[in-house]
A = this chain, B = another copy of it.
Amino acid sequence: MSGSLTVIGLGPGDARWITPAASAALEAATDLVGYGPYLDRAPEREGQRKHASDNRVEVERARFALDLAAEGRRVAVVSGGDPGVFAMAAAVFEALDGGGPQWRDIAITVEPGITAMLAAASRIGAPLGGDFCALSLSDNLKPWDIIEKRLKAALSADFVIALYNPISKARPWQLGAALALAAEAHPPETPVIFARAVGRPGETVTVASVRDAATVAADMSTLVIIGASTTRLIPREGGAPYVYTPRFYGVRP
């Protein structure tokens, strides 16, 4: 008898951003599978088992969760943000696609969540107000050539660009390279937003110009938004300016 598997997005960290649907799916599960810090954000529930794993073994974790579900358990795979955006949902379907028939009868669902770029944008105004791209800067799973091609295409067409996984100890130079491409493509005053740990303790949101952006510190908890050439600032007393991208382009109606 097959059980079920739900991939759940907890949003960026603030419990008030966990949807009621995600909370209900957490509550209904017999087994929670995920990266330890995400599991710590789920409320304790008697009889529910938590299976914590490292953050780097997504497909193995997905296979483990599918095996549990195939045994008849009601499994929740827990992700931060939205599970479909650079998180666990794709890993689950990759595992399913490469796996055997014993997994094909499992009822698999996905519960959406607030992804990091939406939370980051909400803290500073409306920088994603025009067309935008979301791009992972990690070259663990795709070659840098592809990332560079995508950055250049997005910059040339003047999309706003949200950069996930911008930097880590093992990937120290990629963010600088991306910001250098942006500085070549855009006017020097184009805003760049560094949103760190949004919705979690120590949240900071910094706005720089693309000319100076390389001097801003960033880490694995940072989401970077590179404005389009039309992205504008509104000064604000006692804090970072608002940043927004108008909906119109070229001609103000």
Find chain B residues with CB under 8 A from A83 CB: 122, 126
Q: Are B84 and A143 in contact (CB under 8 A)?
A: no
A206-234 interface bits toward B, Cβ cutoff 8 Å, 1 = contact, 0 = none: 00000000000000000000000000101
Q: Are B108 and A112 in contact (CB under 8 A)?
A: no
Q: Are B21 and A84 in contact (CB under 8 A)?
A: no
Give this chain's copy count. Answer: 2
Binds B, one of A29-37, A64-72, A153-161, A175-183: A153-161
Q: Are A19 and B114 in contact (CB under 8 A)?
A: yes
Q: Are A159 and B133 in contact (CB under 8 A)?
A: yes
A16-57 interface bits toward B, Cβ cutoff 8 Å, 1 = contact, 0 = none: 111111001000000000000000000000000000000000
- In the complex, which of the residues B17, B126, B146 contacts A21, with contact meaning CB atoms closer than 8 Å? B17
Give chain B nearest CB distance to A98 CB in angstroms: 9
Find chain B residues with CB under 8 A from A142 CB: 247-251
Residue of A17, A123, A134 ringed by the most chain B CB atoms within 10 A: A134
Find chain B residues with CB under 8 A from A90 CB: 126, 129-130, 244-247
Find chain B residues with CB under 8 A from A96 CB: 234, 242
Q: Is A131 part of the binding interface, using a Cβ–Cβ cutoff of 8 Å?
A: yes
**CB contact list, A115-167 vs B, under 8 A:** 115, 118-119, 121-123, 125-136, 140-143, 146, 149-150, 152-154, 156-159
Find chain B residues with CB under 8 A from A100 CB: none
A76-89 interface bits toward B, Cβ cutoff 8 Å, 1 = contact, 0 = none: 00000011111001
Give chain B nearest CB distance to A106 CB in angstroms: 11
Distance A91 CA – B130 CA, assembled complex (angstroms)? 11
- Report if A134-B131 is in contact (Cβ < 8 Å); known contacts: A89-B125, A141-B248, A142-B249: yes
Q: Is A113 part of the binding interface, using a Cβ–Cβ cutoff of 8 Å?
A: yes
Give chain B nearest CB distance to A46 CB in angstroms: 23
Distance A82 CA – B152 CA, assembled complex (angstroms)? 27
Q: Which residue on B lies nearest to A81, using beta carbons? A: B118
Q: Are A18 and B17 in contact (CB under 8 A)?
A: no
Give chain B nearest CB distance to A101 CB in angstroms: 12
CB pairs A–B below 8 angstroms (10 shown): A11-B19, A17-B21, A90-B244, A91-B247, A92-B126, A93-B234, A93-B242, A115-B118, A146-B158, A146-B249
